[in-house]
Amino acid sequence: MYKIILNGITNKYEYDELIKIFLRPEEYLLFCDSDKDKENSTNEESNFYFHQLLEFNERESNALKRMLYEKLRDLTGVRPEWGIHTGVRPVKLVGELINKLGSMEQVIDKLKNFYLFDDEKISLICSTYQTQKEILNEPVPDAIGLYIGIPFCPTRCLYCSFTSNQSQPAKIQEYMDALHEEIRHTGRKMAQTGMYPESVYIGGGTPTTLTAEQLDKLLTEIKHAYDLSKTREFTVEAGRPDTITLEKLEVLKNHGISRISINPQTMKDSTLELIGRSHNSNDIIKAFDMARNVGISIINTDIIAGLPEETLQDFENTINTIIELGAENITVHTLAVKRASRLIDIDKEFHYKQALTVKNMLALSKDKLYKNNYKPYYLYRQKHMAGSLENVGYSKKGCEGIYNIRIMEEHQTIVALGAGGISKVYYPDENRLERVPNVSNFEIYISRLNEMLQRKDDNLFRR
Ligand code: SF4
């Protein structure tokens, strides 16, 4: 057990995030100035228990992180590839550094020597940044990202931390009625303020849990409520193959949707069963065939590196099959053991154990995808990820998802509807976002809809 003391620091949160990459929670206690009392009582009760005391007297945040990094690297042999960076958006950091330093050479130097990034990660984020710059300009102020959430799924996956619900048809219909009201309301407000959707993303949950009629009505409401004449992209996350039918795909196609997600996660049947999905790999292939036959031109897929009981060979089979199926977008996720998931109850240290396997899986996916003409175009990190690695979205040229890039860039207002939707108002002059959340429980959302609408009026549409 390590006892780590940060003198002159009152908020230890960001340092704790860094330490967690090296040490499991039961391997250390961390104290800063604001918890001196706790430190003293721990001294009295269990001093003998600590086998090493690490004390730091540096107040400059990044210098302190570098000291922690170097000390813990030497003690544990762990070498985090993202250096001292614990944030979610390393590609955004590249953009900020370019604005500040002026040249890519200086950015690379800073990432390497100040943030202590590994060379491979530097090359990954710089290439992702460059792809983003080629595709997108800065968003114009009235062009927003529109997110619409359908918080229902047929079953709950083992690693899910989202409030996905398995609900009765009557309840789902009640939710849809409330959602339509929010769509109409925000549509009126957006028209008054001149806002329009640059991209629309219907996500979840699993939107194709809805019936074909419900999908049709939802898309009709959207079409009537918003000016879609300048919308560049409209995505529906079909997600789970067991919810996809020909009828639903035809509804999507008839409404002009050209981009959907089909999320296999893995092509290994025993893993699909283990993680609680009610479909097999054959259903995924059938869903692809159906979507292509209907004329959907862009299919996004999500796969996960580090799923329980999967080997590098299993992961390779998955990625080979998805490439053969011709998915235009492939997002390679690293398994994260999140607080609200069932997986954390089974093994809260699973992500620590998977670190090396996942590192090899990510390297393999990068190699295969580059060789098959996919390029990384968005990237983000999450807490509790195996090996503290990353999620990377790869795309064939010209098929990149605008919504995915914008949400990571944080330079655009996002209007999010439905239970769990978190709108974000972008203030360009201050380069900051302000969150305007809806409640996440769908039943509370239905009963407090008027309050959600008022909250949007007060914070999103007050100009
Ligand atoms: S499909 Fe996604 S939202 Fe639904 S249960 Fe699985 S992980 Fe959660």
> 143-417 adopts what CATH topology?
pyruvate-formate lyase- activating enzyme (3.80.30)
CA 206 – ligand 1 centroid, Å:
7
Nearest to 327, CA basis, from 406, 391, 260: 260
Instruction: Report the SS3 class of residue 56.
Output: strand
Look at ligand 1, atom 5, and give the residue with the nearest C-alpha. Answer: 156
CA 336 – ligand 1 centroid, Å:
13
User: What pLDDT shows up at residue 215?
Assistant: 98
Neighbouring-strand partners of residue 143 = 196
Q: Residue 45 pLDDT more than 70?
A: no
User: What pLDDT shows up at residue 34?
Assistant: 86
User: What pLDDT shows up at residue 80?
Assistant: 92
CA 362 – ligand 1 centroid, Å:
22
Look at ligand 1, atom 2, and give the residue with the nearest C-alpha. Answer: 205
Residues with Cβ within 8 Å of 455's Cβ and at least 6 positions away in sequence, in order, are 436, 438
* Main-chain dihedrals φ then ψ at residue 285, nearest 5 degrees: -65, -40
Q: What is the DSSP letter of 265?
A: B
In this structure, which amino acid lies at residue 255? H
CB 396 within 8 A of CB 369: no
Q: Nearest 10 degrees: CA dihedral of 12, 15, 20, 21?
A: 170
Which whole number is the average pLDDT over 158-178?
87
Sheet holding 196-204, edge to edge: 374-380, 391-396, 329-334, 298-305, 259-262, 233-239, 196-204, 143-150, 414-417, 422-427, 432-437
Q: Domain residues of the chain, as ranges?
A: 2-73, 90-123, 143-417
Best residue among 150, 158, 160, 283 to mutate for probing ligand 1, ranked by most atoms within 8 Å of CB: 160
Best residue among 162, 266, 343 to mutate for probing ligand 1, ranked by most atoms within 8 Å of CB: 162
Q: What band does 181 get if pLDDT is binned at 50, 70 and 90?
A: very high
Instruction: Report the SS3 class of residue 7.
Output: coil
User: What pLDDT shows up at residue 47?
Assistant: 52
Q: Which residues line ligand 1 (CB under 6 A)?
A: 153, 156-157, 160, 162, 164, 204-206, 239-240
Could you give the CA distance from residue 260 to residue 248 in angstroms, rounded to a whole number? 12
User: What pLDDT shows up at residue 134?
Assistant: 92
Atom of ligand 1 nearest to the CA of 239: 1
Q: What band does 162 get if pLDDT is binned at 50, 70 and 90?
A: confident
The H or E element containing residue 123 is helix 119-135
Between 30-34, 49-53, 171-175, 259-263, the lowest mean confidence (pLDDT) is in 49-53
Look at ligand 1, atom 3, and give the residue with the nearest C-alpha. Answer: 205
CA angle 58, 64, 68 (to 5 degrees): 125
Q: What band does 35 get if pLDDT is binned at 50, 70 and 90?
A: confident
* Main-chain dihedrals φ then ψ at residue 274, nearest 5 degrees: -60, -40
**What is the pTM (predicted TM-score) of this model?**
0.92
CB 436 within 8 A of CB 455: yes
Tens-digit pLDDT profile for residues 103-146: 999 999 999 999 999 999 999 999 999 999 999 888 888 999 99
Nearest to 224, CA basis, from 173, 185, 174: 185
CA 420 – ligand 1 centroid, Å:
14
CA 236 – ligand 1 centroid, Å:
15
- Burial string for 363-379 (b: 16+ CB within 10 Å, else e) reads ebbbebbeeeebbbbbb
DSSP per residue over 152-216, as a string?
Answer: B-SS--TT--S--B---HHHHHHHHHHHHHHHHHHHHHHHHHT-EEEEEEEEES-GGGS-HHHHH
Could you give the CA distance from residue 202 to residue 236 in angstroms, rounded to a whole number? 5
CA 152 – ligand 1 centroid, Å:
8
CA 69 – ligand 1 centroid, Å:
35
Look at ligand 1, atom 8, and give the residue with the nearest C-alpha. Answer: 160
